[in-house]
Structure 1
Amino acid sequence: MTAFNLLSEPIRKYIRDKKWESLRPIQEAAIQRIISTDNNYVLISRTASGKTEAAFLPILSKVNFKEQGVKVLYISPLIALINDQFVRIQDLCDYLDVPVTKWHGEAAKGAKDRLLKNPEGIVLITPESLEAMFVNKPYNVCHLFSALEYIVIDEIHSFLGSDRGIHLQSLLNRLQRVNNKKISIVALSATISDTNKYMELKEFLGDSEHTKIIRDTTPKPINAVFKYFEGGNSELPSELIEDLYEQTKNSKTLIFPNFRGRVEEVAVKLKRQSDRKNGHKNYFSHHSSVDKEVREDIEKFAKDQENKHKNFCISCTSTLELGIDIGNVDEVVQIDSTNSIASLIQRVGRSGRREDKASNLFLYATDEWNLLQSLGCWHLYKDQYIEPVRIDKKPYDILVHQILSIVKGTSGIILDKLLEEIRLNTAFVYIEPEEAEEIINHLLQIDFLEKLDYEFIIGIEGEKIVNNKDFYSVFKTETFFKVSSNGNKIGELPLSFQLKKDENIFLAAKIWKILHVDFKAKKVEVVRAMDGKKPLFFGSGGDTAHKIREKMLEILVTKNKIEALSENGENVINNLRNDFSVFNIKDIVNERPLLISNDNLTFYSFADSKINRTIKFLLETEGIDCQYFEWNSSFHLKIDKNIFKSKLKEICEKKNVNFALMLMLDKSPGALDFSKWGGFLPIKYQIELLKNNYLDFKSCNDYLKKINFVENL
């Protein structure tokens, strides 16, 4: 029987009414398997390949929605994605008369109240809103979700390998514990590595044996052009802006700079260029600091069929990297390199979404190493390589959060029951009961928990944390100041030492002058800037994977001609190759350049960010001062080469670094900034967090043991 014939008649009618000529490959495969089994499935297919329908067509055909209770829970990383998918799923569900309800902080209260009176249909939610329900109204979790049959997780790659992913994994376990029968999970992704046969992903869903992967490897043609413009200061070169304008003026374009300040600079300068040349007016900026209504208006404009013949340019951060539908995009521009191949894949996939057209990518680099990293990411992308996901086996910090959540939700729980909840949760399966009990006792000592007779309840200090809406998320959020002008909301800016009166800022594709900053109310009053003063930039980078750095070294030493690279970009890469031609490197896996100049050494590790941070830490524990530069993965030292080599070999054998890490925590309180909840752990577990999340001793030791130094000729 064909996949189409397996679907229920209302769903078949939906397909006929939509005039689909055929089902997509991922849909054909998913329908036959989801309908015939109760396994968990992960659907992996490129962007805009119909993954959402691949999940919902068979689920809607299979599930009996006439039974009491919510039957399907859709979990998304973004509220904006929920709002976008709501329309799509509701359109499909109209054929079955199945209600669809959004449940998040911005959703209508009336719809939530109706659902509570009569739990049914499909609910769309974020992990944070689900957490809020567990904490504040746990009876609603049972009332709504005890009859769940399916959970659909969208963009699952955005959760994997992060604190938010561990949080979601814990919530999935807790949902299963309140359910009457086994819940089946269908997860969707465009970018997941197949390293170790997806074992990390299968473990994440909690049932490796009954989790199956369905992957559509149909390639999508991509037209790529790489350009280089030397950037000498904090602003983009004017030649780059001029070239970018000419390249995008007659198309629908998404531009991805790497941080918010750059997003705003691009939008402002392209709009100025367009005004001077009588071009179109549709230049926008889209990121988390832009007011929500403004972002939604931009998305609506881009998607609106009435505007389908209008060109536009949206400069954006990762807010438009995930699957929000903004209609047809002709071109994607990346300004300087992404830190991951997965991110590049997501961004490239935003163009050519309609009619299976080729994706068009333009990459602009502003320094030689950024260009090299961009090429490294691109070559790995063409090789179909994606960074493997690394799951934290002992997420002590997220355990702190979930202990508080469980205690608050139960309004009192005995120790044995609390330990059982932790033991049965696959997110914490590698944490020993003795470790969990030690963390619980520490939470007692710092008044996050209190013992009343035989039960644990939330303590005085814990109440301050748990009763704050910021508790529902496990990731750190920046402190934002609301920005307005004459009572009109413009957006938000993160707290920064630069946020002060008379400074100019980029926001919402315009330049503003700060009139007043109210630090108590967290408000900024601005007017349009007219003085020509350079605006401020706000932003940060990210970690780079080992395979990317290795590919960068390969490009330098192989001398192969690089396709799709502009002439000036080719000159830059050739200059870099000439610089590294003094090293006779034959083995890019095991050999690394060591530049010797008098008493100065430059060691190019071409290793990932965590290994490099670990090397720097270990060198400093030996009293060796070094300057480390993340952008080109280099260490600069004033030391004899033989001493340096021997010290590196010694430190890779070093077993006990706990005392040095304790000193690091003492001298640098911000060392745990990567973890929202790590600071509430006993010191020994804070050290373990540093070892496992910020640093990487095992990978570093493996790396140092195998590398051989190649000195300059």
Structure 2
Amino acid sequence: MSDVAELTSALEYHVANTLGWLDLRPLQRASISPVRSGADCLLIAPTAGGKTEAASFPVLSRMVDEGWQGLSVVYVAPLKALLNNLLPRLEQYTAWLGRRVALWHGDIGDGPRRAILSEPPDILLTTPESLEAMLVSRRVDHRLLFRGLRVVIADEIHSFAAGDRGWHLVAVLERIQRIADHRFQRIGLSATLGNPDDVLAWYQGSNAAAGVAGEVVAAGDPPSAPDVTLDYVGSTENAAVVISALHAGEKRLVFCESRTQAEELAFELRAHGVTTFISHSSLSLDERRQSEKAFAEARDCVIVSTSTLELGIDIGDLDRMIQLDSPRSVGSFLQRMGRTGRRAGGSRNALFLATEHETFLRAAGLLQLWGTGFVEPVTPPPSPRHLAAQQFLALALQERRFARGTWRKWWSSSPVMDDGEEVLDYLIAQGFLAADGGWLFIGPAAEKAFGGRNFLELLSTFIADLELSVAHGRKEIGGVSPISLNAPVLRGEKPLLLAGRAWKVVAVDWQRHRVDVEPEIDRGKVRWSSEPMPESFQMVRARRDVLLGAAPPVSLTQRATKVLASVREGWSERVDRDGLVLVRGTNEVELWSMAGLKAHETLAAALPAGFEARSTNEAIRFSTQFDAAILRRSVLDSALPFIAADSVSGLKFSAALPADLARATLAERFVDRPHAAEVARTSIVNRRQRQGDQ
């Protein structure tokens, strides 16, 4: 076996002679020893720092030098497009060593899947949902497939850890660990993390209890100072004018904060003669692939995207990143800006184009917070009880039955199952699991709630909104929400907007969820359902800092400078250096605490009975009898935001939880006691509502 600090000799030869690399990048060099030692690792480097190779090169070296056979490495990523993008690179690397890699996700057909099962590859690229599907499928011998597993690599791990897909992933890994012959190594990859040690400990799971070492490996020179500009354009139409006039001959990636905004901007850019492509989650797979491939090969063009292109999908050398309005976190901004400056001699850059005063202030606050060096910690959502219910049902499908007294062995000490006993009792009592002599198996209630299409709904941890498929002839374009199909659209009087083009509706089949269209010239409209997003305390407070005079460390255009002065003037009665502003009006009292929706809802929950409150990210509104002293007396230790009964439907698998436990789960995910307490103890400046401000 070669020195643990080096790659296996055949791989070193090809890195030098086939790739023509004179040396490895810093993270790639720094990761060799810890990865080859078998330690669980979290590998962190700036975007384009070579993280995939930092993990795969030493893992391939272990594979060759230690003689691994069969499926020994699983590589999971949050997006199918990212896996598709990685496949050619890993095919090249494995071929050098006489090894193979294969792809398995929802878009892969039965033929390639049968080939994988008959002759498993050395590395399998997949998603957590597909891993679960392999475990529960009657066509897959999961014990045979996963028994030789040695390593699991999780790409873009911050994306997993921030939501329920992360809890699902670590729970599925514990089930695979139980059937594998070896305790497998866990490697995570990320570019932006504020709390890497916490994320690594979460990802390690039972490995930490078993004594497997964990190491955060961060390397790479800090990127040079980027060129960031904030501008105000006032509308999507004006944004298209600015983008069409700037940086001719360059490749530009424009991020939008909604699918609707992306569609409108793409249409306007094409109207200005700009070669424009578009990518978002409601476009068909074929439409997205064509856009991303054409953009990667073109030069003088723009691709308009939602967050779908935020992660590490390769779309070629990019010259400019343009942000319409503002993302909701510093981490998201860093990911997006990191798409630029990858080419030798290039530099990172970002141009913000705000379309409203509100989104201008949000962008200014984000850039102010970014200038302080802050990056949000990634915290898995608490109380994943609904995932515990899903895991019990999935285990029953996987094993056909399991013994009630031994269920804990399947998940070791995973926090996913902290309330497992209570959840299990409910599943049995309600018929989701049937019991027979100490054995548990799928019951009639589970068949009714989740049994459609071979329990497909049980394998996904998120709820997808209902969309109708839109097609022109035999070509599927994408999907739209039913709210887009109002009477004028259905009558063909107003066009529908999709894939950056206008379409006239010619027929709707509500039973098949299909809309047939034909091309139209006039600009159309499209809408998808959305809900207000809670923002972090730090993001909202950064806006307050800007309103009180803090200057974002970026270039401001003349328009932006004027708008910033106007915004500060408009907010002058709602912010004060001496404390939080309480404005008394005729009909209500407004506390401009600017602490984020979660902190405000937590405060509202701690108020005595009879005091009603309505919250936004910036303010809490009370009835006129409110007195600030009530805040000082509020008891926050047990305060939980109110969750309406019908809100529980937004929690996947809530049907398999008691109603009160489902509401408690949502409430515990919406609580922010530390920042609610900070608001409660901060001094308050009292003001009267000015006449005319009603």
Query: What is the TM-score of this pair, normalised by structure 2?
Result: 0.91
Distance (Å, rounded) in 2 between the aligned partners of 1:568 and 1:626: 37
Distance 1:8 1:558, change over 3 A: same
State the SS of the aligned residue for 2:555.
coil
Distance 1:377 1:218, change over 3 A: farther
State the SS of the aligned residue for 1:324.
coil
Whether the aligned pair in 2 keeps the contact of 1:47 and 1:190 (CA below 8 Å) is yes
Whether the aligned pair in 1 keeps the contact of 2:188 and 2:200 (CA below 8 Å) is no
- 1:608 partner amino acid: G
Q: Which residue of 1 aligns with 2:233?
A: 229
Q: Which residue of 2 aligns with 1:147?
A: 148
What do the CA deviations read for 1:291-347 (whole angstroms, capped 9, x no partner)?
A: 21121122222333xx4xx31111111111111101011111111111111111111
Distance 1:692 1:217, change over 3 A: farther
State the SS of the aligned residue for 2:556.
coil
- 2:295 partner amino acid: A
Distance 1:62 1:505, change over 3 A: same
Distance (Å, rounded) in 2 between the aligned partners of 1:697 and 1:418: 33
- 2:9 partner amino acid: E
Q: Which residue of 1 aligns with 2:512?
A: 521
Q: Which residue of 2 aligns with 1:646?
A: 629
Distance 1:583 1:518, change over 3 A: closer
Q: Which residue of 1 aligns with 2:668?
A: 692
Distance 1:494 1:542, change over 3 A: same
Q: Which residue of 2 aligns with 1:345?
A: 334
What do the CA deviations read for 1:628-665 (whole angstroms, capped 9, x no partner)?
A: 344xx12344415xx331333344458476xx94xx53
CA RMSD of aligned residues (A): 2.6
Q: Which residue of 2 aligns with 1:488?
A: 475
- 2:317 partner amino acid: N
Q: Which residue of 1 aligns with 2:22?
A: 21
Whether the aligned pair in 1 keeps the contact of 2:280 and 2:305 (CA below 8 Å) is yes
Q: Which residue of 2 aligns with 1:244?
A: 243
Q: Which residue of 1 aligns with 2:421?
A: 437
Distance 1:581 1:438, change over 3 A: closer
Whether the aligned pair in 2 keeps the contact of 1:407 and 1:456 (CA below 8 Å) is yes
- 1:445 partner amino acid: A
Q: Which residue of 1 aligns with 2:262?
A: 263
Q: Does 1:665 align with 2:644?
A: yes
Distance (Å, rounded) in 2 between the aligned partners of 1:536 and 1:256: 18
Q: Which residue of 2 aligns with 1:62?
A: 62
What do the CA deviations read for 1:64-84 (whole angstroms, capped 9, x no partner)?
A: 375432111101111111111
Shift, 1:12, TM fit: 1.4
Q: Which residue of 2 aligns with 1:635?
A: 620
- 1:684 partner amino acid: D
What do the CA deviations read for 1:348-379 (whole angstroms, capped 9, x no partner)?
A: 11122222621121111122232222122223
Q: Which residue of 2 aligns with 1:542?
A: 533
Shift, 1:9, TM fit: 2.0
Distance 1:655 1:120, change over 3 A: closer
Q: Does 1:426 align with 2:414?
A: yes
Structure 1: give runs of 5+ residues left out of the alignment.
Answer: 275-279
Distance 1:583 1:495, change over 3 A: closer
Matches within 5 A, 1:362-511: 362-422=351-411, 424-428=412-416, 431=418, 435-464=419-448, 465-466=450-451, 467-496=454-483, 498=485, 501-502=490-491, 503-511=494-502
For this pair of structures, how many residues does the alignment match? 672
Distance (Å, rounded) in 2 between the aligned partners of 1:143 and 1:356: 49
Whether the aligned pair in 2 keeps the contact of 1:248 and 1:313 (CA below 8 Å) is no
Whether the aligned pair in 2 keeps the contact of 1:593 and 1:605 (CA below 8 Å) is yes
What do the CA deviations read for 1:550-604 (whole angstroms, capped 9, x no partner)?
A: 22111222354753111221222223333455578447xxx32223445643221
Whether the aligned pair in 1 keeps the contact of 2:600 and 2:676 (CA below 8 Å) is no
Distance (Å, rounded) in 2 between the aligned partners of 1:537 and 1:95: 49
Q: Which residue of 2 aligns with 1:121?
A: 122
Of all paired residues, the percent bearing the same amino acid is 25
Distance (Å, rounded) in 2 between the aligned partners of 1:324 and 1:560: 33
Q: Does 1:551 align with 2:551?
A: no
Whether the aligned pair in 1 keeps the contact of 2:174 and 2:410 (CA below 8 Å) is no
Q: Which residue of 2 aligns with 1:683?
A: 659
Whether the aligned pair in 2 keeps the contact of 1:227 and 1:566 (CA below 8 Å) is yes
State the SS of the aligned residue for 2:222.
coil
Distance 1:697 1:650, change over 3 A: farther
Q: Does 1:710 align with 2:676?
A: no
Q: Which residue of 2 aligns with 1:212?
A: 215
Whether the aligned pair in 2 keeps the contact of 1:649 and 1:704 (CA below 8 Å) is no
Distance 1:673 1:216, change over 3 A: farther
Q: Does 1:89 align with 2:90?
A: yes
Distance (Å, rounded) in 2 between the aligned partners of 1:446 and 1:352: 56
Q: Which residue of 1 aligns with 2:692?
A: none
Whether the aligned pair in 1 keeps the contact of 2:78 and 2:155 (CA below 8 Å) is yes
Shift, 1:218, TM fit: 2.5
Structure 2: give runs of 5+ residues left out of the alignment.
Answer: 689-694
Q: Which residue of 2 aligns with 1:98?
A: 99
Whether the aligned pair in 1 keeps the contact of 2:78 and 2:160 (CA below 8 Å) is yes
Whether the aligned pair in 1 keeps the contact of 2:230 and 2:555 (CA below 8 Å) is yes
State the SS of the aligned residue for 2:628.
helix
Q: Which residue of 2 aligns with 1:40?
A: 40
Distance (Å, rounded) in 2 between the aligned partners of 1:593 and 1:83: 52
Select the residue among 583, 595, 599 that pairs with 1:611: 599
Shift, 1:159, TM fit: 0.5
